[in-house]
Amino acid sequence: MGDSENSRTLPSNTRINIISHTTDFLTRGQNRQGSVAAIDPAHAKWLEWNDAHREFCLRCHHQQRLETQMVEAVGFPTIEVCVPGEPAPATIQSNAEIESLLHGPDNAAARDKARGDLSAQLSRWKAADKRMGYSKARKAERIAGDRELAFAAELWDAPARSLEGVIAKLHAVLTLGISSPDCNEFPWPPLRSVMNDLLETARVQHIVEPNGVAAAQRSAQFDGIGPRSSRDCGG
């Protein structure tokens, strides 16, 4: 829905900042007296997931910077080839594509030239890769991404014993699922509105219960399981 259709739709600046605001809120939660994370399995798992998410973002940005430097230094690991009968050159990245596009005896010379050009370009790319460490950065990014998703799965499986735990689960959904912080495609606007409601409820709750722990303790006791440490909650 557009802003004019629903008075509860978040203003643009809040939509854009809701994820970072929630990160700050949950991070502060681990520093409050009687840390919520010591009682709520979901909040404890969120702290682990958030560290993994930050590492993935750092790895991703590093890989992107190296890729930009590689392209500026030697260009992409591709060549352009004029294909008979085609109005525009084709971008080639393998010998198989050369054989497919420049087939037949009439294109033998063009094939040979394309193979040589591609081999030379790939050699330049590999030399730059070895010098800059681009492939290593890509591998590190993939590993960090897998680790982040593994922690996210454990987070969503962990029971939430407090309002912070519920917020933590929704925060991970928004962070990983939304294409951009101000995305207006369903279901992100209503989910952001839910998050805003949860944060406001938490703010009021912490005025009444400054430690932010009593509600989680009551929930755990109600379930008959008692408070649990973060080490007890492996997801």
Task: Express each pLDDT in 115-139 by its tens digit.
Answer: 999 999 999 999 999 999 999 999 9
Both 178 and 224 in a single domain? yes
- In contact, 43 and 162? CB cutoff 8 Å: yes
Both 167 and 226 in a single domain? yes
Q: Which residues of the chain have pLDDT under 70?
A: 1-16, 30-35, 37, 207-235
Among 134, 169, 185, identify where a domain stops.
Answer: 134
SS3 state at 81: strand
CA nearest neighbour of 107 among 122, 90, 125? 90
184 within some domain: yes
Q: What is the pLDDT of residue 218?
A: 42
Range of the domain at 85: 71-134
145 within some domain: no
Based on the structure, what is the number of domains in the chain?
2
Q: What is the pLDDT of residue 144?
A: 98
Among 100, 117, 134, identify where a domain stops.
Answer: 134
59 within some domain: no
* Helix 163-177 × helix 214-222 angle, to 10°: 100
Cis geometry, peptide bond prior to residue 187 (ω within 30 degrees of 0): yes
210 within some domain: yes
Both 172 and 224 in a single domain? yes
140 within some domain: no
Q: What is the pLDDT of residue 111?
A: 97
- In contact, 64 and 87? CB cutoff 8 Å: no
Both 171 and 220 in a single domain? yes
Among 96, 117, 134, identify where a domain stops.
Answer: 134
Both 33 and 81 in a single domain? no
Paired tokens of 18: 């809701």
58 within some domain: no
